[in-house]
């Protein structure tokens, strides 16, 4: 699924990296039961000296799903090591960098 990720709040230094377009590759469940989307960026994002090809996204609003008919506010987590994304992964192993808005592309 193609989506666009825009900046929403919580980290002005990260805001300059957005908007970004990319693909939701799959949905995953974290150990705490959260439903997360693995977002592959069309082009890598450089942030604080590291390059990222993926972000983890989860809706912040009840009743609003990523890929749904209306844009959804999301948590944005940086994925620095995809090997940590096994079944029931630990969300705390990824840096929460900002809030964003996701809409269908």
Domain total in the chain = 1
**Domain extent for 46:** 2-104
In Å, what is the CA distance from 40 to each residue of 62, 63, 75, 93, 94? 24, 24, 15, 18, 15
pLDDT in tens, 63-102: 889 988 999 999 999 999 988 998 899 999 999 999 999 9
In degrees rounded to 5, what are phi and psi of residue 53?
A: -100, -20
pLDDT in tens, 5-54: 999 999 999 999 999 999 999 999 999 999 999 999 999 999 999 999 99
Residue 72 exposed, middle or buried by CB count within 10 Å (0-12, 13-18, 19+): buried
DSSP 87: T
């Amino acid at each position: 699924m193609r989506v666009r990720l825009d900046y929403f709040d919580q980290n002005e230094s990260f805001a300059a990296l957005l908007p970004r377009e990319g693909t939701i590759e799959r949905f995953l469940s974290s150990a705490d039961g959260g439903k997360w989307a693995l977002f592959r960026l069309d082009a890598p994002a450089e942030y604080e000296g590291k390059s990222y090809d993926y972000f983890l996204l989860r809706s912040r609003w009840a009743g609003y799903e990523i890929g749904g008919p209306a844009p959804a506010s999301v948590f944005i987590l940086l994925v620095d090591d995809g090997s940590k994304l096994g079944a029931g992964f630990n969300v705390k192993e990824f840096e929460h960098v900002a809030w964003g808005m996701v809409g269908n592309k």
